[in-house]
Structure 1
Amino acid sequence: MSIATIATAPIDGQKPGTSGLRKKCKVFMGAHYLENFVQAMFDGIGGVEGKTLVVGGDGRFHNDVATQTILAMAAANGAARAIVGQNALLSTPAASNLIRTLETDGGVILSASHNPGGVDEDFGIKFNMPNGGPAPESVTNAIFERTKTLSQYRIWQGAPVDLSAIGVTKLGEMQVNIVDPVEAYVDLMQRLFDFPAIADMIKDGLKIRFDAMCAITGPYARAILEGALGAPDGTVVHGTPLPDFGGMHPDPNPTWAHELMDEMMGENAPGFGCASDGDGDRNMIVGPGCYVSPSDSLAVIAANAHVAPGYSDGLKGVARSMPTSAAVDRVAEALGIDCYETPTGWKFFGNLMDDGRVSLCGEESFGTGSDHVREKDGVWAVLMWLNIMAATGKSVPEIMEEHWARFGRNYYSRHDFEAIETEKADALMADLRGKLDSLKGHVEGPLTVAEADDYEYLDPVDGSTSAQQGVRVVFEGGARFVVRLSGTGTSGATLRLYLESLETEKLDLEPQAALMSVIAAAHAITCLEQHTGRTSPDVIT
């Protein structure tokens, strides 16, 4: 048993995206691939000698093997201590919580979030900073630059750690603490929400369906809903994390969580439906016959967060990603608090939260969270909705109807065009950017372009800028569409088209019908069919 220095060479394409490095699992299983990136990651953050790291992941295929590699390399690079979820499991928000509460030097999270799992599917790895949030671009850029020059990596060669046994062990000179992945997170939720009131609501007959999609939140939801809150066994379905997510696509949206949607839209639907994703940071909220868009969910939470004990003093401010609808903006205006618009990616919210500017953040891609951690948090969002229902005595449809009556309704939808040839997607974006200056005044059907730009963000905390974060086309009257390429896929490019229109009178329209003119204008202005050959999206949310 000893430390080995292994000769290697740079591997192309190891550039982290908005949520770390994601590739097909077999790519990560290739010779030196994971080891190269981990060494570059350690070097890019200034080394790990004497540091304490949290390590865990969403349980997808290769999660356990990769965890052993990371621990062996951390030990060989001089780390003092590693805190690891039992069986290498940790939801992303639970990992963020441990990083923060144990005051560690950061953490390595193994996940490809909502992407499919299995030997032929996706894998991912990212570094989270000591604040518990994803590494900023300055750090991911340093990691990427290191991948280009790496010539060797260090790894401990010896017996692997027993990841199933809670307790303290050693790997070389490094202490390894195997911890219950759920316990600390449950304690945090109990401090934030009114568990007795929610438990009484459940006892009085509220039926809940939580679809964990064979992913990481199953154990968390069972411990909270069926354990601490007293919901009946079976409330949580697909609750056992599986390496291939049971063949499911663990993305909590109406397309992939279709079993839950069928139940909630059918006869005798439960009073509350919800789902979470592969690593536990996303959520979907559904009432009987009532789907809640992520943008609306963020706005409702902002308007009602004060009913939860952890937020009884009110919100400092709110933030949303640029493609997310402006529904929360009007809530912030009514509350007299600041509302920030950022690029997509939770790391941008982290600066605002660390600076004390905001308490609540959200993205249209089914991500909502607060300053309790520095990641979006699916189970947290579910509990917030249950707390709001318990405090108001209202159902999900009633809450939505009252909210729209007060603030108006932002009809909103996201259309995903997946696995487009990268060259074609890049050409579409280049063509669109090239004609932005000439779009003002352009007419498409009943809509006239008021302004168009390529969104650039100036961080109010650190002064950094992030350019080309999505093309925005805004029409007279406020309707708009946004186009950007997603950084979360592993095959080709995913083009995302975001569509929005505010309505203050007709509040019960079907969203796709309400957005018909915006959809047509977006397709025409982007020349989507000409560039991609696509006429309809793969996923509509």
Structure 2
Amino acid sequence: MIDPLAGKPVPKERLTDIPALISAYYVLKPDVSVPGQRVAFGTSGHRGCALTKSFNEAHVLAITQAVCEYRKEMGYTGPLYIGIDTHALSIPAQMSAVSVCAANEVHVCIAKNGEFTPTPLVSFAILEHNGKRSEKADGIVITPSHNPPADGGFKYNPPNGGPADTDVTAMIEKRANEILENGLKDVRSIDYEYALTTPFVEMYDFITPYVEALGEIIDIDAIKTSGLKLAADPLGGSALGVYKKIKAHYGLDMEIVNPYVDPTFSFMTLDHDGKIRMDCSSPYAMASLVGLKEKYDLAFGNDTDADRHGIVTPVGGLMNPNHYLSVAIWYLFKRRAWKQELKIGKTLVSSSMIDRVAESLGKDVYEVPVGFKWFVDGLYEGWLGFGGEESAGASFLRFDGSVWSTDKDGIIMNLLAAEIKAKTGRDPVEIYADFEKTFGKAFYARIDAPATPEQKAKLKNLSPEEITTQTLAGETIKSIYTRAPGNGAPIGGLKIVTENGWVAMRPSGTEDIYKIYAESFLSAEHLKAIQDAAQKIVADLFASK
């Protein structure tokens, strides 16, 4: 259901009370016997809110202590790079984490001059260090991504620079909850101001090395000489300082929209459900920038930790993330002098237009479950040229085929759109329109439906044999799988594929809902038929004993 104020400026009564939120971070204590107040690592780390006792100082102290113990066990003796976004809880959480790291004699690097640090810059710093030195560095990113202003988040990135795999996060989560259960007695911590005077805390410039290296992955000269008028909207996030540096360093004609940080995010427009959400793939959250589309040749936005991208063109407004992924893949594999055997990474709920484009390029698709962590090894080892997911997150290799980042990088994806327009002279929306003429028009949608925890568990643990129907929306079923074809990992649900469509059903990890992703290359009516058939399959499954 769309909120009546979706896409409209935020009313003052819907702004977060920041002093109350910060107070709750320090004062409220989580009850570990309550599931929602325990440490829980999802696909993007631990997230929560101080007001609901799900992201408080106790959580951060426990998680950081667990990370310190884990990296000691693994023998990681290089620096631990810590980045933060602009959510109100991020600075207090960084202070808590630094106090623990210094007490554990872990060398941490935090941004100088109180700067904020996007997720991709942490990944970049880890990889740059580990490519030149033997002692292994790793990182922490304190961010709840595009979540509402009252939320906080905590992610761990091991030495490969990308999101930690489930085996690592499971260990950290388990140990952190043990520490909470033991009343934080195992936490080593010192005063924050004293920590800053120790040799274990270094003020580090994350932005300059990243910006100066951009010419190794993006044709910045082509963008500059094209005369394109650009706009960058960090949505009040950590990319602000990066875009300022890019503009100054390369002299691009780029206006920075909303060039300030406001922890209430009062300049935003409300998302579909009436919440403030810095989602650069949402037409409601991006309404302000979309409204300026005709002022620029190209505009783009990022979420608060800049691992997602949003492309706005004068032709089509906010570009569908699946559409842009298809265009980016086509352009990169046409224009980059990469080795022939490189594969294209996509999540199983991303558009099949990617498969059709890949086939036209003669490239193999590496299809994985939801989560960018599944692309980390391929990007790190250099056999994936590109990894992307339908939620507007992607990264790719440098011109020479070497790794750039193993986490999502919304900044390079935005700059790539400018390169595409500069080099081809065409709007990315126009390029995608050509795909529709060649490969067919894709009708894609995601819907959510309620599900109890028991129903979600049943859906998550399905086997293909439990689906007895032979057809889906009038077409013969070609394949049913519960493991991703690319790496054989469980998808936590089910995907059914026919000649002209597919549907994937998986439970949410954080809400009592399940998600239905579906696509048809026939019509909007066929898409609706696929969705209806999928809901019946799930209803029959839930009704069975």
Q: TM-score range by the shorter chain?
A: 0.7 to 0.9
In the superposition, relative to structure 1, how do residues 84 and 320 fare at CA in structure 2: closer, same or farther (>3 Å)? same
The structure with the greater share of residues assigned to helix is 2
Matching residue of 2:431: 399
Judge conservation of contact 2:505–2:517 (CA < 8 Å) in 1: yes
Matching residue of 1:142: 171
Report the Cα distance in structure 1 between the residues aligned to 2:287 and 2:392, rounded to whole angstroms.
Answer: 15
SS at match of 1:389: helix
Moved more, 87-96 or 237-246: 237-246
Report the Cα distance in structure 2 between the residues aligned to 1:24 and 1:99, rounded to whole angstroms.
Answer: 28
Judge conservation of contact 2:98–2:192 (CA < 8 Å) in 1: no
The structure with the greater share of residues assigned to strand is 1
Residue identity opposite 1:230 in structure 2: L
Residue identity opposite 1:80 in structure 2: H
1:89-488 alignment runs, 5 A limit: 89-103=116-130, 104-117=136-149, 121-150=150-179, 151=182, 152-160=185-193, 170-174=196-200, 176-201=201-226, 203=227, 206-225=228-247, 228-232=250-254, 235-246=255-266, 248-252=276-280, 253-264=282-293, 268=294, 270-290=296-316, 291-305=318-332, 311-313=336-338, 316-371=342-397, 372-416=404-448, 424=452, 426-427=454-455, 430=458, 437=465, 439-442=467-470, 446-456=474-484, 459=487, 466-475=489-498, 477-487=499-509
Deviation at 1:381, TM superposition (A): 0.6
- 1:308-367: per-residue Cα shift (whole Å, max 9, x none)? 6xx333662211111112222233333333320111111110112233221101000111
Residue identity opposite 2:327 in structure 1: V
- The alignment status of 1:497 with 2:523, answered yes or no, reads no
- 1:70-98: per-residue Cα shift (whole Å, max 9, x none)? 11111111213434354252100011111
- 1:103-145: per-residue Cα shift (whole Å, max 9, x none)? 252011101111112xxx2111011011211111121111122
Judge conservation of contact 1:85–1:178 (CA < 8 Å) in 2: yes
Report the Cα distance in structure 2 between the residues aligned to 1:398 and 1:36, rounded to whole angstroms.
Answer: 50
Deviation at 1:23, TM superposition (A): 1.3
Deviation at 1:221, TM superposition (A): 2.5
Residue identity opposite 1:261 in structure 2: V
In the superposition, relative to structure 1, how do residues 155 and 513 fare at CA in structure 2: closer, same or farther (>3 Å)? same
Structure 2 residue corresponding to 1:75, chosen from 102, 108, 115: 102
Deviation at 1:453, TM superposition (A): 3.3
- The alignment status of 1:64 with 2:87, answered yes or no, reads no
Report the Cα distance in structure 2 between the residues aligned to 1:114 and 1:123, rounded to whole angstroms.
Answer: 10
SS at match of 1:126: strand
Deviation at 1:305, TM superposition (A): 1.2
Judge conservation of contact 2:86–2:236 (CA < 8 Å) in 1: no
RMSD: 3.2
Moved more, 402-411 or 282-291: 402-411
Deviation at 1:496, TM superposition (A): 2.6
TM-score of the aligned structures, taking structure 1 as reference length: 0.80
Report the Cα distance in structure 1 between the residues aligned to 2:312 and 2:448, rounded to whole angstroms.
Answer: 21
SS at match of 2:496: strand
Report the Cα distance in structure 2 between the residues aligned to 1:142 and 1:17, rounded to whole angstroms.
Answer: 13
Identity %: 24
Residue identity opposite 1:143 in structure 2: I
Judge conservation of contact 1:49–1:77 (CA < 8 Å) in 2: no
Deviation at 1:458, TM superposition (A): 7.1
SS at match of 1:497: strand
SS at match of 1:82: strand
In the superposition, relative to structure 1, how do residues 109 and 305 fare at CA in structure 2: closer, same or farther (>3 Å)? same
Report the Cα distance in structure 2 between the residues aligned to 1:69 and 1:478, rounded to whole angstroms.
Answer: 52
Judge conservation of contact 1:59–1:88 (CA < 8 Å) in 2: no
Report the Cα distance in structure 2 between the residues aligned to 1:39 and 1:122, rounded to whole angstroms.
Answer: 21
Residue identity opposite 2:147 in structure 1: N
SS at match of 1:245: coil
Q: How many residues align?
A: 483
Report the Cα distance in structure 1 between the residues aligned to 2:288 and 2:299, rounded to whole angstroms.
Answer: 11
Judge conservation of contact 1:56–1:90 (CA < 8 Å) in 2: yes
- 1:363-419: per-residue Cα shift (whole Å, max 9, x none)? 0011121141011111111111111111111123322222333444433223356xx
Matching residue of 2:272: none
Judge conservation of contact 1:94–1:185 (CA < 8 Å) in 2: yes
TM-score of the aligned structures, taking structure 2 as reference length: 0.79
- 1:229-284: per-residue Cα shift (whole Å, max 9, x none)? 4225xx222232332333631011223222233444xxx46332322112100012
Report the Cα distance in structure 1 between the residues aligned to 2:382 and 2:76, rounded to whole angstroms.
Answer: 31
- The alignment status of 1:524 with 2:531, answered yes or no, reads no
Matching residue of 1:5: none
- The alignment status of 1:23 with 2:48, answered yes or no, reads yes
Residue identity opposite 2:300 in structure 1: C
Matching residue of 2:6: none
In the superposition, relative to structure 1, how do residues 147 and 159 fare at CA in structure 2: closer, same or farther (>3 Å)? closer
Report the Cα distance in structure 1 between the residues aligned to 2:496 and 2:461, rounded to whole angstroms.
Answer: 11
SS at match of 2:193: coil
Moved more, 337-346 or 375-384: 337-346
In structure 1, list runs of 5 or more residues that go unmatched.
Answer: 1-7, 162-168, 460-464, 504-508, 532-541
Report the Cα distance in structure 2 between the residues aligned to 1:187 and 1:416, rounded to whole angstroms.
Answer: 43
Moved more, 242-251 or 90-99: 242-251
